Structure 1
Amino acid sequence: MFLQLLTLASLVLLPLLFFFVFRASSQPNPKTSNNTKVLKSYPIIGSFITLYKNHERRLPWFTDLLRSSPSNTLTIHHSLGKHFVVTGNPTVVQHILKTHFPIYEKGNTFRTTLTDLLGDGIFNADGDNWKFQRQVSSHEFNTKSLRKFVEQVVDTELSDRLIPILSAAATNNLILDFQDILQRFAFDNICRIAFGYDPAYLLPTLPEAKFAVAFDDAVQISGDRFSSFSQVWKLKRFLGIGSEKRLRAAVSEVREFANTIVREKKRELSEKKALESVDLLSRFLGSGHSDEKFVTDIVISFTLAGRDTTSAALTWFFWLLSQNPHVEDEILKEISRTTELESATGGYDEVMEMVYTHAALCESMRLYPPVPGNSKKAMKDDVLPDGTKVKKGMVVTYNVYSMGRMEEIWGEDWAEYRPERWLEEREENGAHKWKFVGRDSFSYPVFQAGPRICLGKEMAFLQMKRVVSAVLKSFKLVPVEREGGAQPEFVAYLTGKMKGGFPVTIVERA
């Protein structure tokens, strides 16, 4: 019966689709009187054809469209009467993330898409459930002991694993995929910080650790579900075939592993009355949050957040340094100046002093944000500050990638990698010093903004600065030239990655 219905639908829809494809390809894209590009929309299929044609290059394509709009906001007719809004306007971002925060939620579509992996975790929650998890998490993230623990974990991973691997590659003239190395590094770190478990993913053999591979598959397939053009994954899940079959197995592996650790920690807590470890899971259990599903969901969410974001940010940061040697030289000078302070204070104060490095990281994330976009669903009718009407149920997406390329926000030199745009010069005791000058989080929503602003922002910078300092102090990374001298391509999944990896050779500094 199912196959008969599918065949009937194909016979009816395919000729109709062909008709509109032919018409869309044969007619020029019109412009309005104010010269703003408009996506041609047709009955039933809306702008589906144009969206599909540009799907592979959607980030630069949407950036061009948003630049051409006077308000940097677009309303797009997708298909079957569905509309959605895309914006690169900081005022609109402030409206949906702060001013009218209660109106804009993750929504059922987002939650359903990621529920197999994240359950009801903080990044997949709305309303009172989100508020409770945010309150619990905020308390734990603001403790000095957790910051110290994060630093110890990062330093151990650097000294015992990352630096020896880079040294061996330099000695043996090996090519490393540095994106893969950074992902392994970040995964070991976040698992130890979140679970108190070391997956040993960054070893000289670069092993395929079972839990790491399952987690990677689960994230990859879950991200692929967000295709703008198909809900086929729901059918595949119902039938238990293809990628959805692999996702079910991967999620089962991840959750079984997480549940085992939770039960072991609970057993330890019942025997000792207090947990000696200071990872996030132990903190949640030790503070009385013993519901197994709750702590598993929230810790898996933090593992996802910590696994890909810092590694994605660092991948593009090191590539940008290779293209801008004057920036690398300035960072090396800063590392040299702070080495003595590091010895005296033990590390945390040292990274706080790395102002130019902080600016360079912010600048790289402006051009290559770890999370290139985010969406919210309107819970009731609304009007955005630029006059755009939003109906209940519509999705509003703020395009972080596009916002980092807006002349209105960053000036005519937006395409330049220039950390100095985040800095002011000042004299202190006769010496030249930099002062960091941040941008408001609505113009630079790399870490989100408003009530949902990233809890781990400070720790992310701590980890990244420690990596930058340790790597650059001893090594220079030289990218392997790509075929035809092509620039690496930024691709968006749940996080932004470098297509094809980041192959480099390692050169030891004298």
Structure 2
Amino acid sequence: MVDFHFSASLVFSILIPILFFVISKLKTSTSNPTKLPKSYPIFGSFFAILKNRERYAQWTSEIITSTPNLTFTLRRPFGRRLVLTANATNVQHILKSHFNNYEKGDFFRSTLRDFLGDGIFNADGENWKFQRQVSSHEFNTKSLRKFLETVVDSELSDRLVPVLENAAAHETVLDFQDILQRFAFDNICKIAFGYDPGYLSASLPEEKLAVAFEKAVKLSSDRFGSFIPYFWKIKKCLNIGSEKQLKIAVRQVREFAKEIIREKKQQLDGKSGLESSSADDLLSRFLSSGHSDEDFVADIVISFMLAGRDTTSAALTWFFYLLSINPEVESEILREIKEKQEATSAYDEVKEMVYIHASLCESMRLYPPVPVDTKEALSDDVLPDGTVVRKGTRVTYHPYAMGRVEKVWGKDWAEFGPERWLEREEAAGEWRFVNRDSYTYSVFQAGPRICLGKEMAFIQMKRVVAGVLRRFRVVPVVVEGAEPVYIAGLTAKMKGGFPVRIEARAEAAS
């Protein structure tokens, strides 16, 4: 242990003065941010990465979109390389045609294992296949109808609308990002685990779980920015700093997950074999499949909590912000809401909301809930654009940058334009949605790992948009001229939350 402490101290004593020297030089530099970052012996482009760590997605997007083939190689410390691409042909190569050569990989799995364990979003191979197969039953049409009519609608009418009505009546400022996270968290717990945490109840309880979950997501994500992986591993071994905080947060999250599992086991034990085998929530299916090990099932629970809470809430947060600065889009959405409210069922109503669907796609083009995703090459390869990928190299496809490619989206790519997803049907005079292939628009991944919850996410988001906008205006509380900041982690966030005032519509539909 003495030798270990001495070695760590020696490394820091050598590197820290160099770090401060180079950072001081970077602060005085006026280099063009769209040029490839400078690379130094041993350090690679670490100093440029450090300088841009608060805007990593934006910085790498600027570089990618300035290159001819929409691909560049970022040199990391000690000779490690990271290939980043927004080239749709490369994305198809990685996610489909050479799928078996690109996995999450040891680096990604080890970095997130403390938090996500072997859950579906941190799994490869047979483990991933098993979890995906069991999970797929949750997303058929019957389950989607049930999700909308028994989960989303009750959470909307019994919790979200009353919270917004109260805020409107008392002119309260709400953090709408937090409200949407609470809404999504209740929804995923209900549909996936048959459990209601009541996180969006009227008192807006300060749940220890929510704080721990948020901290675990952030600190796990921060590991990827470490100078070398050994730094966070050293802190973990010594149980100090951010790693000590992460350990505490993860323990709290896992205890919550295991509590849900134990309650579900008791429910299943009290049912007959037929009732148990026909259980229709995700957790029941996993427990009934013979995988009753608490640690493994907790991994699955945490992964779905992450997906269900953070992705849809992130998408809706940026959607409502974009509506606030594009009133003409909001007017068109209100027109569609009034037209479709006579639909025979809630499910049919949201399925027919074409303009809202296009608006959500457009919002996620500009502000994807997952800004980047990384795979690791199992063997040497060459991407279609000629980029050489060595075994063990990490390859990142970049949805944030892909939404900013002028050749794909036009010179007006920076504008919020739902019409780019629509065509007019001449006979009926109505909008028709025009989809983009999943390799050009990779917000939901593509290929064998395409997001299972895509349709469920759209149903939930469209129902929220209609349910909120037909009754309220969402008005951001911002300093004049200020714009919200997009923060990239495991999922995207709006820095500092999304403070809004809620105004009741005089013309609200009954």
Settle same-fold status: TM greater than 0.5: yes
- The reply to whether residue 398 of structure 1 matches residue 397 of structure 2 is yes
Structure 2 residue aligned with 1:504: 500
Q: How big is each residue's C-alpha offset from its partner over 1:97-122, in whole Å with a ceiling of 9 and x where there is no partner?
A: 11111111101111111111211111
Q: Give 1:159's match in structure 2, choosing from 157, 160, 169.
A: 157
- Measured at CA, do residues 105 and 310 of structure 1 come closer, stay the same or move farther in structure 2, by a change above 3 Å? same
Structure 1 residue aligned with 2:296: 294
1-structure distance, mates of 2:18, 2:53: 21
- Measured at CA, do residues 382 and 336 of structure 1 come closer, stay the same or move farther in structure 2, by a change above 3 Å? same
Structure 1 residue aligned with 2:286: 284
Q: How big is each residue's C-alpha offset from its partner over 1:33-80, in whole Å with a ceiling of 9 and x where there is no partner?
A: xxx933322211122222222222222221221122110100121121
Amino acid at match of 2:37: L
Instruction: Give the TM-score taking structure 1 as reference length.
Output: 0.93
Question: How do 1:451-470 and structure 2 match up within 5 A?
Answer: 451-470=448-467
CA contact (8 A) 2:168 2:504 kept: yes
Structure 2 residue aligned with 1:96: 94
- Measured at CA, do residues 20 and 471 of structure 1 come closer, stay the same or move farther in structure 2, by a change above 3 Å? closer
Q: How big is each residue's C-alpha offset from its partner over 1:381-424, in whole Å with a ceiling of 9 and x where there is no partner?
A: 10011101011111111111111111011111101100000011
Q: Give 2:487's match in structure 1, choosing from 468, 491, 496.
A: 491
Q: Structure 1 residue 140: deviation in Å? A: 3.2
CA contact (8 A) 1:182 1:314 kept: yes
Q: How big is each residue's C-alpha offset from its partner over 1:180-222, in whole Å with a ceiling of 9 and x where there is no partner?
A: 1111111111111222111111122211123333322222222
Structure 2, unaligned runs of 5 or more: none
Structure 2 residue aligned with 1:172: 170
2-structure distance, mates of 1:50, 1:197: 45
CA contact (8 A) 1:309 1:371 kept: yes
CA contact (8 A) 2:473 2:504 kept: yes
CA contact (8 A) 2:377 2:393 kept: yes
Instruction: Give the TM-score taking structure 2 as reference length.
Output: 0.93
Structure 2 residue aligned with 1:225: 223
Give the paired residue count: 500
Q: Secondary structure at the match of 2:202?
A: coil
Q: Secondary structure at the match of 1:361?
A: helix
Amino acid at match of 1:504: V
Q: Structure 1 residue 501: deviation in Å? A: 1.0
Q: How big is each residue's C-alpha offset from its partner over 1:112-139, in whole Å with a ceiling of 9 and x where there is no partner?
A: 1111121111110011111121122123
Q: Secondary structure at the match of 2:84?
A: strand
Structure 1 residue aligned with 2:267: 268
Q: Secondary structure at the match of 1:80?
A: helix
Identity of aligned residues (%): 63
Structure 1, unaligned runs of 5 or more: none
Q: Structure 1 residue 303: deviation in Å? A: 1.2
CA contact (8 A) 2:148 2:347 kept: no
CA contact (8 A) 1:199 1:209 kept: no
Q: Structure 1 residue 262: deviation in Å? A: 1.7
2-structure distance, mates of 1:72, 1:327: 31
Amino acid at match of 2:268: L
- The reply to whether residue 450 of structure 1 matches residue 433 of structure 2 is no
Structure 2 residue aligned with 1:56: 54
- Measured at CA, do residues 104 and 506 of structure 1 come closer, stay the same or move farther in structure 2, by a change above 3 Å? same
Structure 2 residue aligned with 1:387: 386
Q: Secondary structure at the match of 1:425?
A: strand
- Measured at CA, do residues 212 and 92 of structure 1 come closer, stay the same or move farther in structure 2, by a change above 3 Å? same
2-structure distance, mates of 1:5, 1:288: 47
Structure 2 residue aligned with 1:68: 66
2-structure distance, mates of 1:14, 1:162: 49
Question: How do 1:58-207 and structure 2 match up within 5 A?
Answer: 58-142=56-140, 144-145=142-143, 147-207=145-205
CA contact (8 A) 1:151 1:463 kept: no
- Measured at CA, do residues 25 and 167 of structure 1 come closer, stay the same or move farther in structure 2, by a change above 3 Å? closer
CA contact (8 A) 1:199 1:211 kept: no
Q: Give 1:313's match in structure 2, choosing from 312, 315, 332.
A: 315
Q: Secondary structure at the match of 1:377?
A: strand
- Measured at CA, do residues 237 and 433 of structure 1 come closer, stay the same or move farther in structure 2, by a change above 3 Å? same
- Pick which of 408-417 and 133-142 moved more: 133-142
CA contact (8 A) 2:323 2:329 kept: yes
Q: Secondary structure at the match of 2:77?
A: coil
Question: How do 1:243-254 and structure 2 match up within 5 A?
Answer: 243-254=242-253
2-structure distance, mates of 1:12, 1:20: 13
2-structure distance, mates of 1:72, 1:367: 17
1-structure distance, mates of 2:63, 2:123: 31
2-structure distance, mates of 1:505, 1:28: 40
Q: Give 1:340's match in structure 2, choosing from 325, 339, 342.
A: 342
Aligned-residue CA RMSD (Å): 2.1
Q: Structure 1 residue 141: deviation in Å? A: 2.3
Q: How big is each residue's C-alpha offset from its partner over 1:265-319, in whole Å with a ceiling of 9 and x where there is no partner?
A: 2232222122486321123334554443333222221111011000000000001
2-structure distance, mates of 1:11, 1:301: 39
CA contact (8 A) 2:77 2:228 kept: no
Q: Secondary structure at the match of 1:504?
A: strand
- Measured at CA, do residues 327 and 285 of structure 1 come closer, stay the same or move farther in structure 2, by a change above 3 Å? same
